[in-house]
């Protein structure tokens, strides 16, 4: 088995890391403190090709493999979770469903602008009463002549209410299946459509520079041409979208763990107590050693899941494993990193406290850790 990255993948890591250090690191704390989504920074990320990395060049994408995209997310998350969230959601949840399930006309209409970073797109799944239980959705779409009438709401939707948001993919109940279960269909909904309102959410603990929104649909009328794929395909589309999204959230955990570890290692080597760097004390050195081992294990699991996907082999079980493990590894690493910083780790001027806060969303988004364990247990036959 060849564990080496290709020259192209190594170059992507190098260039994205350089960009993150130069363009994101100097303003990450300020954006976090101000809870400010930065459209110019997002467009810069688009200019260097961070949107549409796995999309065919036919639609102005980069035509790269999924691992290359995951490496890019990892490197952004190594510096800032908010900007990594913008990239991860913009690709896996925004671009992905249109690219994989959209009609040719829908792809040509939306993908070039989304791949360039000119605009972003959201994925409306979660509702106030339907988080882990997606079957609890209440948003409905009812046919009326040649149109569908959409009513309901969504919550915690990334990239859906910022200056660059073009629209959102909305999953709605469109009827009942023969077995009595709800039929789900996804619709493409553009901003400016009458009856559609998107409201930014503030006062978040984490990802404060990422755009998060509540969405409201009040008799929104959509033409049949706005159906994503076919009527009734929404549940299948949701599951496939979440499989890919788990890898990007896992990449955020991996990159965030690496970033927190880097900060802790640097601090431990520079901070002196009792006449020597605290990295020389076994209590600190063992924490750092444990972090290094867990990050290495997380990276190997994540890259294997991506390798399976790129080889068109079953990867869903490994996506759930990678999302679960990488997310929780970041939690343990960020906790050690704050502990190593001592009192300084609790202050906003030290980046490590931001990593500590940003991690918590990874245990919840794209399926909670509990849901990942349910998914994995089913794959192993429990």
Coarse DSSP helix, strand, coil percentages of the chain, rounded to the nearest 5 percent:
55, 20, 25
Tell me whether residue 30 is one of the annotated catalytic residues: no
Whether residue 322 contacts residue 297, with contact meaning beta carbons closer than 8 Å, is answered with: no
Token pair belonging to 381: 């036959």
Which of 57, 147, 366, 370 is the catalytic position? 366
Whether residue 64 contacts residue 189, with contact meaning beta carbons closer than 8 Å, is answered with: no
CB neighbourhood size of 1 (10 A): 4
- In angstroms, the CA 319 to CA 321 distance is 5
CB neighbourhood size of 99 (10 A): 21
Q: Are strands 165-176 and 120-124 parallel, antiparallel or unpaired?
A: parallel
- In angstroms, the CA 112 to CA 99 distance is 11
Backbone angles phi, psi at 281, to 5 degrees: -80, 135
- In angstroms, the CA 180 to CA 275 distance is 72
Judge residue 275's burial from the number of C-beta atoms within 10 Å of its C-beta, 0-12 exposed, 13-18 middle, 19 or more buried. Answer: exposed
Active site residue ranges: 366
């Amino acid at each position: 088995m060849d564990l080496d990255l290709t020259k192209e993948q190594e170059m992507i890591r190098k260039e994205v890391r350089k960009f993150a250090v130069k363009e994101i690191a100097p303003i990450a704390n300020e954006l976090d403190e101000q809870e400010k989504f930065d459209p110019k920074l997002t467009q810069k990320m688009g200019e260097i090709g961070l949107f549409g990395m796995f999309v065919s060049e036919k639609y102005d994408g980069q035509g790269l493999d999924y691992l290359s995209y995951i490496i890019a997310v990892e490197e952004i998350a190594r510096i800032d979770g908010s900007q990594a969230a913008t990239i991860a959601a913009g690709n896996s949840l925004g671009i992905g469903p249109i690219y994989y399930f959209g009609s040719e006309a829908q792809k040509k209409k939306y993908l070039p602008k989304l791949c360039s970073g000119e605009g972003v797109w959201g994925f409306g799944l979660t509702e106030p009463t339907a988080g882990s239980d997606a079957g609890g959705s209440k948003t409905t779409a009812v046919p009326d002549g040649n149109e569908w009438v959409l009513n309901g709401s969504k919550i915690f939707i990334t990239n859906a209410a910022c200056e660059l948001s073009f629209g959102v993919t909305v999953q709605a109940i469109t009827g009942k299946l023969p077995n009595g279960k709800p039929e789900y269909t996804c619709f493409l909904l553009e901003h400016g459509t009458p009856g559609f309102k998107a409201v930014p959410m503030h006062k978040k603990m984490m990802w404060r520079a990422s755009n998060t929104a509540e969405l409201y649909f009040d008799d929104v009328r959509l033409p049949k041409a706005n159906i994503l794929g076919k009527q009734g395909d929404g549940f299948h589309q949701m599951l496939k979208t979440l499989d890919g999204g788990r890898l990007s959230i896992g990449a955020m955990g991996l990159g965030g763990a690496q970033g927190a570890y880097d900060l802790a290692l640097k601090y431990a080597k520079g901070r002196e107590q009792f006449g020597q760097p605290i990295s020389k004390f076994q209590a600190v050195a063992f924490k750092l050693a444990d972090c290094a081992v867990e990050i290495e294990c997380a990276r190997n699991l994540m890259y294997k899941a991506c390798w399976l996907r790129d080889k068109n082999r079953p990867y869903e079980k490994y996506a759930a494993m990678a999302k679960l493990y990488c997310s929780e590894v970041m939690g343990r690493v960020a906790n050690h990193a704050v502990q190593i910083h001592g009192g300084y780790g609790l202050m906003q001027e030290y980046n490590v406290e931001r990593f500590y806060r940003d991690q918590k969303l990874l245990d919840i988004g794209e399926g909670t850790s509990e849901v990942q364990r349910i998914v994995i247990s089913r794959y192993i036959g429990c």
